[in-house]
Amino acid sequence: MTSEQHVREAYVWIWLPGETHPVVAGRLETEGDTLFFNYGRSYLQRENRIPLNPNELPLRTGIIPPLNGLKIAGCIRDSAPDAWGRRVIINRRMGRKGANVDTGMLDELTYLMESGSDRIGALDFQHSATDYIPRAAENVSLPELLESADRVEKGVPLTAELDQALFHGTSIGGARPKALIEFDGKKYIAKFSASADIWNVVKGEFLAMRLAYFAGLNVAPVQLVKAGGRDVIMIERFDREYQSNGWTRKVMLSALTLFELDDMLARYASYETLAEIIRQRFASPNQTLLELYKRLCFNILCGNTDDHARNHAAFWDGNTFSLTPAYDICPQGRAGNEASQAMLISGNNNLSRMTSCLNAAHHFALSRTDAHEQFMMMKTSIESHWRNVCDEAELNQVDRASLWGRQFINPFSLE
């Protein structure tokens, strides 16, 4: 396939809840730059069928266009590779590298078909409606990750993905380099430090994720290791579960998809709207609203201003939605004190401070007093566990002093 040729159609396969093998759900085909979906007749006749997303792809016959003038259904777009993955694909196909590579040179269906089959969520994409042939799992072993430096010295080749992430990530640019790791019955996403980092971003994310755990948030488990002389954070995947006969996969939908928006309209995404969706469509809405509010408070207190709508997600089991564990909680660089969240909080306000949380309390079914108490509980927990988590990360005193009072518990956050 040349760089000018594009994939025109593909079949969508899904791991249904509790199943370890996929079935074909339907077909995607392009018309211009829009992707249309059509459920397969055999899928619609299955007793355990579920809609890929009940609002945008309900179970019915016939071609289903994307909602609201979008070019692709959000639940399909959620399965596509991120900026890092797209640049890896372009580099693999065309030999082009660098942060300025135009990822628009390939169409969306091509990205879906060129990316690995062990993608986030429970969907995959195939040329065939009858034969499922997974593209390279692209999982590397934990020993290979940890022994990567020795392997390089001995001239033993790494897997292509690990080599790309460890040693060529900065030449690709874009989102942080990563690899898929499988070890001891669990799957992980490993994120690597980059030579261009002006501070230890990997340890910063580890600190935030561990502190979130100690603050009582439902957060993905993480661990910190070194490979090739570089820090690596390993995030346990919560969309996979190992059974005696194989791996099950969980359907995941990003908040951006629940909002029925695309990346061009992400600026309209808000915690207020997500809270309304939770009230109407989620299991255990009050408990979920409290969890979301605490995540908002924690993001503000740890300096994670990258809380955009793709960094929130829900499981879909065919009957109801539930909030996934928190992920991608990472302090962001900060020049001054004032900051704003990527998602709006309430109305047009997204300022990263306590007042924003308190003014939005009613959206989360909280009184202002209870909202203030939750905010202060997050703050106290961060303060109480800061030293121990920094020790766990082997963070030096310079980095501790740099992060504390700037990203973590910045004075602006307490206004």
Q: For residue range 336-386, list pLDDT tens digits in order.
A: 889 999 999 999 999 999 999 999 999 999 999 999 999 999 999 999 999
Q: For residue range 266-322, list pLDDT tens digits in order.
A: 999 999 999 999 999 999 999 999 999 999 999 999 999 999 999 999 999 999 999
What is the pLDDT at residue 145?
73
Distance CA(301)–CA(410), nearest Å, equals 7
> How far from 247 is each of 17, 78, 321, 412, CA to CA, in Å?
11, 20, 21, 45
Average pLDDT over residues 389-402: 96
Enumerate the β-bridge partners of residue 226.
Answer: 231
Q: For residue range 45-87, list pLDDT tens digits in order.
A: 999 999 999 999 999 999 999 998 899 999 999 999 887 778 7
Distance CA(242)–CA(224), nearest Å, equals 23
Q: Which regions of 61-159 does DSSP assign to beta strands (E)?
A: 63-64, 123-126, 139-141
Distance CA(216)–CA(241), nearest Å, equals 23
Domain map (residue ranges) of the chain? 9-126, 142-236, 247-414
What SS3 class is residue 398?
A: helix
Kindly report each contact of residues 104-109 with a partner whose C-beta sits within 8 Å and lies 24 or more positions away, as own/partner.
105/3, 106/3, 106/6, 107/6, 107/7, 107/30, 107/33, 108/35, 108/71, 108/72, 108/77, 108/80, 109/6, 109/7, 109/8, 109/9, 109/10, 109/28, 109/30, 109/35
Mean per-residue pLDDT of the chain = 89
Tokens read off for 163 = 């080599």
Return the sign of the alpha-carbon dihedral for residues 371, 372, 373, 375: positive
pTM of the model: 0.91
Domain 247-414 has CATH 1.10.1070: yes
User: Cβ distance 341 to 307 under 8 Å?
Assistant: yes
- Share above pLDDT 90 across residues of the chain, in percent, rounded to a whole number: 68
Fold match flag (142-236 vs 247-414): no
What SS3 class is residue 23?
A: strand
- Select the CATH number that applies to the domain covering 142-236 from these four: 3.40.50.11740, 3.10.180.10, 3.30.200.120, 3.40.50.2300: 3.30.200.120
What is the pLDDT at residue 115?
86
Residue 390, Cβ neighbours under 10 Å: how many?
20
Q: In what order do the strands lie in the sheet with 252-254?
A: 252-254, 313-316, 321-323
| pLDDT greater at residue 34 or residue 158 | 34
Distance CA(57)–CA(39), nearest Å, equals 9
Cα separation of the two ends of the chain: 56
Enumerate the β-bridge partners of residue 236.
Answer: 188
